[in-house]
Amino acid sequence: MPTLTFTGSQHRLLLPEDIKDRATPWIQTQPTTAYRTADQAPFRRMIDFWFTAIAWAVSHEVEPVEETTGRFFVALGPNPNDIRNFEEWRADLLTILAVRVFGVNSPDVSDTRKIIDLANRYAEAGAPLLLDRLEESADLALPRLYVVADILARLVTETALQSSDRSF
């Protein structure tokens, strides 16, 4: 299956307003704040946090919400104000997630609207849990980048240990 193009038409990325408010201190670029360093705010953009929330939900086997309650924060698409460069690896991973959820023979795995809807639902499910973990691990003496790196490194190690007996 070729990589799907998520920017050929407009797709709205969503997160609940309270989650966006809680995530803001962890995001480098925000229209209402001065630029922060990666040490202060380890996620460069809200879309990076959104994508990490999806990964967090999947890795913790959290089901997506049934229906999004989130509000628009950015669009993927061809318009000047849209994100027009959606990295291929992100598209590939969302497509793999769609195959996992919808099934390999489902027509939904090639429908970018349905894939983005699924991604929004996973992001909404995973974001509060990710933020809870980030906030409980935050330390005023430790840069936030180190907090995120430590949490993600532990998650990778745990996942590798759980999968060590598998053969592919």
What average pLDDT does range 29-36 have in this prediction? Answer: 66
How many residues are present in the chain? 168
DSSP character for 165?
A: T
Bridge partners of 72, per DSSP, are 14
Give the end-to-end CA distance of the chain in Å, rounded to a whole number.
21
Backbone torsion region of residue 111, taken as left when φ is above 0, otherwise alpha when ψ lies between -120 and 50, otherwise beta: beta
29 vs 94: CA distance, rounded Å: 24
* pLDDT of 30: 66
Answer whether residue 102 shows pLDDT above 90.
yes
Q: Please report which confidence band the pLDDT of residue 51 belongs to, taking 50, 70 and 90 as the band edges.
A: very high
46 vs 52: CA distance, rounded Å: 10
What average pLDDT does range 67-90 have in this prediction? Answer: 89
User: Which of 31, 20, 9 has its CA nearest to residue 127?
Assistant: 20
* pLDDT of 129: 95
**pTM for the whole structure:** 0.85
Answer whether residue 168 shows pLDDT above 60.
no
119 Cβ neighbours under 8 A, 6+ residues apart: 13, 50, 54, 94, 97
Quick: pLDDT tens for 82-91.
888 888 889 9
Helix and strand totals (H; E) in the chain:
5, 2
